[in-house]
């Protein structure tokens, strides 16, 4: 099996972000990719570099306004006299259905949901190559590979069709799902990150061809707060095609597994032709995000359980931050998944 990653993804490296009103060091650092790549190799995966897919896979799930913003905003931002080196929003609209702003400052507020998605000098290249990794992995699965791991960094599941947030810019899991839709009538996305995949939910909320399922820490007191509640089921033709399973803070391995079983039952009822797993590793008990309490062995159980449903699968990296368990958690998941996954 293969891990898809381009070292150019590490050129995205904003140094700071805003949390609780405080400017802190950004935890979404290039070293994450180094550790994850080493862990994937430890699990026996072969490293390949993605092809350049152009803007097609990104533009299939993101608006042209937003793609133009991401690809040009840093250069434009630097023209602001006295401005910062990195793009950070300082104002947000109270509605998003009016005239589109021309100001770089206003566009930043329009397209960036929070202070945790700063844009730096090398960001667009890293973001673009992260999406290429997801598109490449999905293409391999579409063309017959049983499963592939996309080491997409920066991550993507908080990115809406026209808005970044929470360290996410392009929705890599959404990119992968849309590529798979080119071959399969129905595709499911299972998000196991500790945070709800609000951007993924929003992207497909009105669609019935892509089922979105998320298991995460209860957002009533946890990021992203405003999305991820159990009563969010989809809208229009998408009603019934979104399934959220919020869990109490501190949920450990044994209490997590019934939620995973319920998630997989819903996916099997949807009868998709392929699966995308938004693979966050920040549900770990010692992850700096501190939401759930999954052990390294627990990630192996999660991987093994998902693998047993036997669908062609793209594993897309989401969260999971620097701690001693980051690499071992990925290795555990991949080994568990690979052992049980049979097509």
Residue spans per domain, the chain: 2-8+27-52+125-340
List residues bridging with 274 in a β-sheet. 187
- Candidates 246, 51, 247, 58; CA nearest to 156 is 58
Mean model confidence pLDDT for the chain: 97
Helix (H, G, I), strand (E, B) or coil at 110: helix
How would residue 343 be classed by pLDDT, with cut points 50, 70 and 90? confident
Q: Give the pLDDT score at 342.
A: 82
Q: Does the pLDDT at position 12 exceed 90?
A: yes
Alpha helices by DSSP H, listed for the chain, are: 31-42, 56-59, 64-77, 104-111, 123-142, 172-181, 198-204, 253-270, 296-307, 326-340
Architecture of the domain whose range is 2-8+27-52+125-340: 3-Layer(aba) Sandwich (3.40)
Q: Does the pLDDT at position 322 exceed 80?
A: yes
| Mean pLDDT of all residues in 158-168 | 98
Question: What is the rounded distance in angstroms from the CA atom of residue 262 to the CA atom of residue 241?
Answer: 14
Q: Give the pLDDT score at 55.
A: 98
Which tokens belong to 229?
Answer: 């509640």
Q: Whole-model pTM? A: 0.97
| Mean pLDDT of all residues in 7-30 | 95
Q: Give the pLDDT score at 291.
A: 96
| Mean pLDDT of all residues in 218-230 | 97
Helix (H, G, I), strand (E, B) or coil at 267: helix
Phi, psi at residue 245, to the nearest 5°? -125, 80
List residues bridging with 18 in a β-sheet. 23
Q: What would the pLDDT profile of 77-108 be if each residue is shown by its tens digit?
A: 999 999 999 999 999 999 999 999 999 999 99
Question: What is the rounded distance in angstroms from the CA atom of residue 40 to the CA atom of residue 332?
Answer: 10
Q: What would the pLDDT profile of 268-302 be if each residue is shown by its tens digit?
A: 999 999 999 999 999 999 999 889 999 999 999 99
Active-site entry in 12, 158, 184, 195: 158
Q: What would the pLDDT profile of 133-143 be if each residue is shown by its tens digit?
A: 999 999 999 99
Q: What is the radius of gyration, based on Cα positions, of the chain? A: 18
Question: What is the rounded distance in angstroms from the CA atom of residue 14 to the CA atom of residue 154?
Answer: 11
User: Would you give the DSSP letter of residue 80?
Assistant: S
Tell me if residue 62 is catalytic: no
Residues of the chain with pLDDT > 70, as a percent, come to: 100
Q: Give the pLDDT score at 107.
A: 98
CB of 50 within 8 A of CB of 136?
Answer: yes
| Mean pLDDT of all residues in 141-160 | 98
How would residue 319 be classed by pLDDT, with cut points 50, 70 and 90? very high
Q: Give the pLDDT score at 17.
A: 93
């Amino acid at each position: 099996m293969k891990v898809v990653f381009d070292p150019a993804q590490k050129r995205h490296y904003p140094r700071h972000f805003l949390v609780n009103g405080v400017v802190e060091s950004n935890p979404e650092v290039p070293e994450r990719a180094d550790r994850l790549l080493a862990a994937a190799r430890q699990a026996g995966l072969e490293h390949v570099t993605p092809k350049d897919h152009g803007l097609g896979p990104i533009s299939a799930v993101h608006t042209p306004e937003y793609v133009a913003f991401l690809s040009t905003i840093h250069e434009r931002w630097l023209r602001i006299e006295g401005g910062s080196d990195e793009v950070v929003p300082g104002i947000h609209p109270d509605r998003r259905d009016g005239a589109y702003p021309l100001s770089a400052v206003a566009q930043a507020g329009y397209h960036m949901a929070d202070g945790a998605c700063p844009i730096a000098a090398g960001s667009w290249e890293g973001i673009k190559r992260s999406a290429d990794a997801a598109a490449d992995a999905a293409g391999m699965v579409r063309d017959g590979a049983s499963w592939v791991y996309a080491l997409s960094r920066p991550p993507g599941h908080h990115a809406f069709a026209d808005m970044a947030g929470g360290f996410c810019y392009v929705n890599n899991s959404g990119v992968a799902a849309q590529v798979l839709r080119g071959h399969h009538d129905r595709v499911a996305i299972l998000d196991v990150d500790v945070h709800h995949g609000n951007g993924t939910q929003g992207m497909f909320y009105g669609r019935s061809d892509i089922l979105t399922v998320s298991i995460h820490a209860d957002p009533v007191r946890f990021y992203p707060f405003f999305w991820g509640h159990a009563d969010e089921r989809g809208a229009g033709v998408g009603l019934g095609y979104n399934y959220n399973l919020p869990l109490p803070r501190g949920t450990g391995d044994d209490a997590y597994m019934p939620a995973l079983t319920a998630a997989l039952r819903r996916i099997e009822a949807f009868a998709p032709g392929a699966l995308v797993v938004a693979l966050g590793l920040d549900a770990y008990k010692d992850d700096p995000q501190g939401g759930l309490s999954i052990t390294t062995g627990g990630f192996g159980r999660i991987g093994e359980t998902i693998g047993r449903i036997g669908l062609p699968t793209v594993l897309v990296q989401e969260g999971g931050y620097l701690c001693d368990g980051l690499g071992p958690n990925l290795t555990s998941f991949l080994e568990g998944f690979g052992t049980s996954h049979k097509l």
